[in-house]
Every structure is written in structure tokens, then in C-alpha cells.
Amino acid sequence: MDEVTIQRGLSTHFKFEEFKSELQKNAVVEICQRKNDVLVSMPTGSGKSLCYQLPAVLHSDKITIVFSPLLALIKDQIDHLLALKIRAASLNSKITKPEREMIIADLKSTSPNTRLLYVTPEQAATTTFKVLYNNLHNFNKLAYLVVDEAHCVSEWGHDFRPHYLKLGELRDNCNVPCIALTATASAEVTKDIISNLRLSKDHRTFKTSCFRSNLFYDVFYPNMLEDPYKHLRNFIHECLKMKEEESLPKHKKSCGIIYCRTREQTEVLMERLNKLGIKTLCYHAGLKTHERLEFQDKWQNGDVPVICATISFGMGVDKATVRFVVHWGVPKDPASYYQESGRAGRDGKPSKCRVYYNRSDSKAVEFHLSQDLGRAGSKESRKKES
């Protein structure tokens, strides 16, 4: 496939006049050739999804299967693609029987309209999926197998998911190129991705440093501050360029996320900030579904600029104008912190990431470290045994 066709596809289907980076372009061009397996390791917000979505759309006679870890993430991707009039679907427990039947009928037809099919690794392990997959493979209808958040295949990854390991089995006797994508892959994780997903020896890698030059990080100790809540309010004013008497930023889209460790913390902090004149909502798994959707919508539309959330908020949140990410308490581990703070500044503009770190948090850090060390130890001993 030539570069002119690819460039035209970028503007026709995705409405972008140029690639976000040279690396994004090179990855897309390589993937479009369908010759090799490809590993894409690029920072949060760098446009990894386009690396497989554009090639998937350009191979208009085939289907791309995307393995993705979370239904919320899948929903977000599908909504985005449907808005661009790209046929994408997902087989999961949340869809109705008629919807499922319609998707399967299309996938079984001689010329399916579906370009991208999203499934979780757990769904990929079901018999229904395997039958469908074999059928598509045998009739040469598959363009790519895409593994999003590929670090989940590795026990060294911060997000290890045992079902991800089984995805490698789908690649046995399969000649469809595999595209693995991740934002956070250490050398160990990269090794595991390559071996667990059985990437070919001559696979191509498109990797860039995880450094985000527009993000500015700092740490404050609440114990040493006169009033941590006012300190946070001043930080919000500064990041959103708000004056004290204003309750909304001038740029309606400017906003921020405050990650808290517990549901209760999100509510307490929301209340405090509202009292201090900052319009704030909360988001956690304890809210009713309709409340969660409503609150996320209000934040997404810019009606409320700040959201206090547990880490369940974030995966799939793709708002370009997040000007700050605060951790009200210590993050779980460095890789999670990179992912979560990476929600900031996706439009490339300067943005801030701040941790408010309590001395008591060090106990939580020690606990997580000892868990990680335990995991690393058991992995080493399993390696020795095998």
C-alpha cells in the first residue's frame, strides 16, 4: 500500500491532515504492508490507536480483532469510531441478544461491514469467540490481531491479567500479523510481550521514550502545609487560569482530575473544593451507573471542571485539555502513576502533575513494594523450576 493512499485515508476517515509524529507515520506505513508483526511502544496520548485503526480501515475487505482490557475502554473506542462512521463492534455481556446476533451474522457474511471487532481477553477465551475466530481465519478474513495495553501479558507489568497469556495460543498456526501496543514497557515486559504473544523473530518495533516534555511534575507534603485544601485550590486556580471569584475557567474545556485512594476521600474532597468555590464532582465504583455517566458527561462537556476520582476513572478517558492531574495520596506504583498522570496535556500544551504525599502513605508504598517483590520472587523461582 503506497503512502499517498495512507495519507488520503488519514484525512478521509480520521479527519487529520497530518500524522502526530514521524514515528506514528512510520508505524502506520509498516503495519499497512501486513508483512510483519509489530510492537508499538509510545507514550500515553501519543496516538497509538491510530497506528492500527487506520490500517484496519484501509484493508476494507478484512476484519481487525482488537483485544482490549476493559469494557469502558472498548466503549470509548467504539463510540469514537462510530462517530467517524467507521464500523466497529464489540461482543460482550452488556449487549442485547439481537445486537449480538446482528454482529455475528455480519461477521459470518461473505463481505462483512465490520472493520474492527473489540473483545476482552476473557471473552476471547469463550467457545463462541473461538468458533468465530477460526471461521474468520479459515476464510482469510482477518487483517490484524491487535493487543492493546500489551504490558498486561507480563507478570512484570503493573496490570498483569492472566487471560492475556492465552492470547498467544490464538497465534498458533495463524498467519495474521499481530500488532502489540503499550505505553509502559520495561525491558522485562518487552521480552514477555514478544515471547507470550509469539511475535515473529523479524517483528518490527516502533518505540520512543516515555518522556512527555509538556508535563511538569512536583510533590508537596500536606503535613507541612498550613491548609492543604487551600493549597490545592490555589493550584487549581493557577492551572485553569481562574481568578478567585470565578467558578469556571475562561476556556470551558480546561479541566483537571484529582485521584484519591478511597471512595470516601473523593466525596470529602469534592465537598471541600465546592465550599472553596471550585465546581467539583466525584467518580467512583460506589455510584449508581446513571450517576457515573452523568458526572463523567458533565466533566467531559466542561460544565464542571474538576473531578475527584478513584483510579477506576481514567482508562479510556481521552480529553485533550486536562491541564492538571493531582494524586491526593501516593499512587500505587511508578507505572500506574505514569499512566494516570499521562491523562494530562494530551493536546501537547504545558500541564501539571502533582502528588500530595503524606508520611502515612509510606506504609502503603512499603506494602505495594513488598507485594511486587513477592511476585518477582515467585516468578524467578518458577523460572528456575521450569
Interacting residues toward ligand ATP by CB under 6 A:
16, 19-20, 42, 44-50, 183, 318, 320, 342, 346
Query: For ligand ATP, which is the closer residue by CB, 50 or 199?
Result: 50
Of 3 and 238, nearer to ligand ATP (C-beta) is 3
Nearer CB in complex with ligand ATP: 350/377: 350
Question: Buried b vs exposed e over 16-31: b needs ≥16 C-beta within 10 Å?
Answer: eeebbeebbbebbbbb
CB of 19 to ligand ATP, least distance (A): 5
Alpha-carbon distance of 55 to 5, in angstroms, equals 11
Nearer to ligand ATP, 28 or 89 (CB): 28
8-state DSSP, 257 = E
Contact 174, 8 (CB under 8 A): no
The nearest distance, CB 85 to ligand ATP, in angstroms, is: 15
Place of cell 514515528: 23
- Residue number, 21 or 358, with CB nearest to ligand ATP: 21
Q: Output the 3-class SS for 204-241.
A: EEEECCCCCCCEEEEEECHHHCCCHHHHHHHHHHHHCC
Task: State the Cα–Cα distance between residues 116 and 68, nearest whole angstrom.
Answer: 12
User: Of all residues in this chain, which one has the CB nearest to ligand ATP in the complex?
Assistant: 47
CA angle 339, 382, 146 (to 5 degrees): 40
Q: Where are the alpha helices (DSSP H) in 262-385?
A: 263-275, 289-301, 334-341, 361-385
Q: Given the complex with ligand ATP, which of 122 and 318 has the nearer CB atom? A: 318
> What is the C-alpha to C-alpha distance for residues 116 and 57, in angstroms, rounded to an integer?
8
CA distances from 100 to 96, 119, 184 (A): 6, 13, 34
Amino acid code (one letter) for 19: F
Residue type, 35: K
86 vs 183 by CB, closer to ligand ATP: 183
